[in-house]
Amino acid sequence: MKKNEVESLILEQMLGNKRGVNVHLNPTKLAQNTVIKNWTDEIKPPTNDPISDFWFAFIDHSPNANFEHPVDYVFINDKTGEKHVVHGTSPPDNLKNLEKIM
- pLDDT of 10-33, one tens digit each? 999 899 978 899 999 999 999 877
Gap between the Cα atoms of 67 and 62, Å rounded = 9
Q: Which residues span the domain enclosing 57?
A: 3-100
Counting the structural domains of the chain, the total is 1
> Which runs of consecutive H residues, i.e. helices, occur in 24-97?
none
**How many residues in total does the chain contain?**
102
Flag whether pLDDT at 47 surpasses 70. Answer: no
Q: How confident is the model at residue 34 (pLDDT cuts 50, 70, 90)?
A: confident
